[in-house]
């Protein structure tokens, strides 16, 4: 029997999420209602929207049943502004302790505040996005420190 550890690729992060939507133009309009992003490419069957170095791929597909627990999270700079905008758009927020809602195709989305979570963009990416002013909260830095991942100067 071989006792050597099995080598595996290490997950570094999420590059993108692919969502099935009923209509590409409607998906772009819906998400543009509350998020600022760059449309990298689009066709009648797909669109790619970028948030700096990550993206969402909208793919025209079959309308599945709404997600109950399955979801994806988007970190934003101003969660309360996003909440206000979603309500003004008539989006029904789910009754959770988070800022969750279903998009028009049943994809469950959770919005979270970038500064309050461990997930961290590289400084040069934040600068390129015009968001260099965002700084992690002491709680987020403590969570990162506990994993040996605190930003430089925060150890």
pLDDT in tens, 45-73: 999 999 999 999 999 987 777 888 889 99
On the question of pLDDT at 151 being above 80, the answer is no
What class has domain 16-61+70-116? Answer: alpha beta
Domain ranges of the chain: 16-61+70-116, 117-155
Write down the H helix ranges in the chain.
Answer: 24-32, 79-88, 123-128, 138-146
pLDDT band at 134 (very low <50, low <70, confident <90, very high): very high
Q: Which carries the bigger pLDDT value, residue 6 or residue 80? A: 80
Please count the other Cβ atoms lying within 10 Å of the Cβ belonging to residue 55.
20
Rounded mean pLDDT of 75-88? Answer: 95
Q: Quick one: which of 37, 43, 46 has its CA closest to 82?
A: 37
pLDDT band at 155 (very low <50, low <70, confident <90, very high): low
């Amino acid at each position: 029997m071989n006792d050597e550890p099995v080598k595996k690729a290490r997950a570094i992060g999420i590059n993108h999420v692919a969502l099935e939507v009923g209509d590409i133009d409607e998906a772009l309009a819906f998400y543009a209602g509350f998020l600022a992003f760059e449309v990298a490419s689009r066709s009648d069957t797909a669109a790619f929207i970028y948030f700096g170095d990550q993206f969402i791929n909208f793919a025209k597909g079959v309308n599945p049943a709404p997600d109950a627990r399955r979801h994806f999270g988007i970190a934003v700079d101003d969660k309360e502004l996003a909440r206000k905008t979603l309500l003004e758009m008539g989006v029904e927020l789910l009754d959770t302790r988070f800022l969750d809602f279903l998009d028009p195709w049943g994809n469950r989305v959770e919005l979270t505040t970038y500064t309050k979570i461990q997930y961290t963009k590289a400084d040069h990416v934040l600068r390129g996005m015009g968001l260099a002013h965002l700084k992690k909260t002491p709680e987020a830095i403590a969570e990162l420190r506990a994993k040996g991942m605190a930003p430089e100067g925060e150890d």
